[in-house]
Structure 1
């Protein structure tokens, strides 16, 4: 298999941007070393183009009739292998050449369970979702359960207009979709991949643990009341070296602080990962949303379970850069077994395939938090340039999301990097 053709453009008029992207794709389709017969298109647009989503998809379909399947969504920004288009009109498209019997596009009108036809079995899935969908976290977990590996990757649409999703398959209509346009609002959509599609995926959270890992010994809904049988607020103030006697300084520090949480049922070892200076794939990082001075508790943006492992942490540019470099290095290790042995190490559970000689990246998808991007990493385009420096000039598309999806979790302020690799 060859490199996936990839195009991107920005322009105030969406028709001009689409024209530029199509020209890039056609040029790459004719190049040696690139895929010549792709059938699956991945499209990400910024919310400036959201109102024209149906027209954009129809135009791409007309200009690229060989592409029978489309999937994608909208973000406040889109990402490619060397640039970030944040808060400006832009789109990016990647054309994937994959065996037709090894993927299925799904949506609310053609659910993943209904696509298990013939010999197809979903092993992993690219997932796009609307954050306003009721019980979204439970739906993501349920969808992960429909795959053989339990591994999803993707993100929640982010938009100041319509949170559109693209999902169209086969002859222009997903089975059961009727005459729908292929553009949806709400629910879930994406692409399920069979065992024959090799992917490597990693999560970068960019958090620096501030102290030791604790166990929740008393909780009430969103409030951590006691950890290690001591008041949670007392422990937080101690690790931050602050006092409520100076409230303004204390609150400013608390606002920069988050909580890494690990349900023991998910496996992994938060303590070992914390000592390594970063969190693993099963650690959910959540905001502190309040302090309960009456019970000396700490309120977080997720319901807390008794027995969960937690660690206070902070995000900063240095930690974010180091963690993104780490996940890229882990992907490189998977592709270079003759030089570097594979080790899951402290990164926690992640989906990888057995080492095979001669594998290379055909294309990639990167979903990053809308609160990250170059500015968080210290310079424009810095986040994507870190990936390019680590992985090389490989085709890559993605978007800046309202929440990032990996395995069966929804993350925040993270980056999920997934690459498609050849089988030799």
Structure 2
């Protein structure tokens, strides 16, 4: 698998941006390290182009007739290698060098068959009813139970792209959709590594939910939940002018029953779901959160923290690099540990052919210290690799819907 050609550009007129992107793609496709004839494209646009989504897709397809399958969505910002385009008109395209037999574009008019795929890239409309259940169902249609992606973020149309030459339904629909889920599913023959990076820091000890009523936690560790929260935040309802801003800036991290959500280093674990506090219930001494609760769950009060977000992003990038590049022993060390006069050398590691990064809209720009700082961290850790993605209204990983996180997924090759 060769490197994935990719291009990106910003311009007030989408045709000019598309021309710049196409020039980059065509130039890379002539280079020996890049794939010359990929069939699958991922396309991400900012919402400045959302009203012209069909025209953008038609133009790209006509300019690249060898690319038969397209998937993507819109965001208030899009991500590329070493840069982000936030709140400005921009377009990014990556051509994935994956054999047609090992991927399938899906959408509402062409659903994904059960047990066909190993994993799937999913784009979803945040206004879709029962979205969390649909994501869980989609994960259940994959053999690994793993999906990755995010929710469309747009101030205009929440469009998705999904079109395949092998699927007449998508061709008839034009390839631009609103509502529901769409994306690309991949077979086990496609090498993928994916990690979730959290953007919040615990500010108090972890508690067990011992009593709850749907979205309201009533007791934590057997104590009234409101009292526990006020004590953890060091505030009092008798001073509402001081208490309200603190509560508004506080989130909760939720973990499954019997599973701690805080690591040894004091950071939130990968499986923690961060949710907003949406209200207080003084009559029942409860705290309402934006998630259905059940006794036994673990709850941690937390806040957004730039230093924790940077450190966790570096950590997940390092984990990917370590998995791709196992430590190599010297010939002398191999001989010292082996009785074989001609020992087998360790296999070479893998490299990144392309990457997709989906980050929360609340993480982009200044949250990491400046424009494009988040993507620059990834570039520093992973190197100069093809990367596209978008800033989402919610991030998808495994079978969960996350918030304030980043989901980094890389395509690997020998």
TM-score tier by shorter-chain length is: over 0.9
Hey, what does 2:386 align to over in structure 1?
395
Whether 2:215 is the aligned partner of 1:215: answer no
Contact 2:75 2:152 in 1 (8 A): yes
Give the stretch that moved more between structures: 370-379 or 127-136.
370-379
Hey, what does 1:41 align to over in structure 2?
41
CA distance in 2, matches of 1:367, 1:6: 16
1:127 to 115, 122, 135: 122
Whether 2:164 is the aligned partner of 1:169: answer yes
Alignment of 1:16-415 (within 5 A): 16-113=16-113, 121-171=116-166, 174-177=167-170, 179-264=172-257, 269-271=259-261, 273-338=262-327, 357-415=348-406
Contact 1:152 1:405 in 2 (8 A): yes
Which digits, 9 at most, give the CA deviation of each residue in 1:219-265, with x for residues without a partner? 1121111011001111112222222232222221111111110123x
SS at match of 2:91: strand
Shift in Å, 1:177: 3.6
CA distance in 1, matches of 2:225, 2:318: 36
Q: Which ranges of 4 or more aligned residues in structure 1 deviate by more than 6 Å?
A: none
CA distance in 2, matches of 1:178, 1:13: 26
Across the aligned residues of Structure 1 and Structure 2, the Cα RMSD in angstroms comes to: 1.6
CA distance in 1, matches of 2:251, 2:387: 30
CA distance in 2, matches of 1:274, 1:261: 13
Contact 1:39 1:67 in 2 (8 A): yes
| Structure 2 alignment gaps of length 5 or more | 330-345
Q: TM-score, normalised by structure 1?
A: 0.91
Shift in Å, 1:356: 6.4
CA distance in 2, matches of 1:203, 1:277: 16
Contact 1:224 1:299 in 2 (8 A): yes
Hey, what does 2:334 align to over in structure 1?
none
Contact 2:326 2:349 in 1 (8 A): no
Contact 1:281 1:406 in 2 (8 A): no
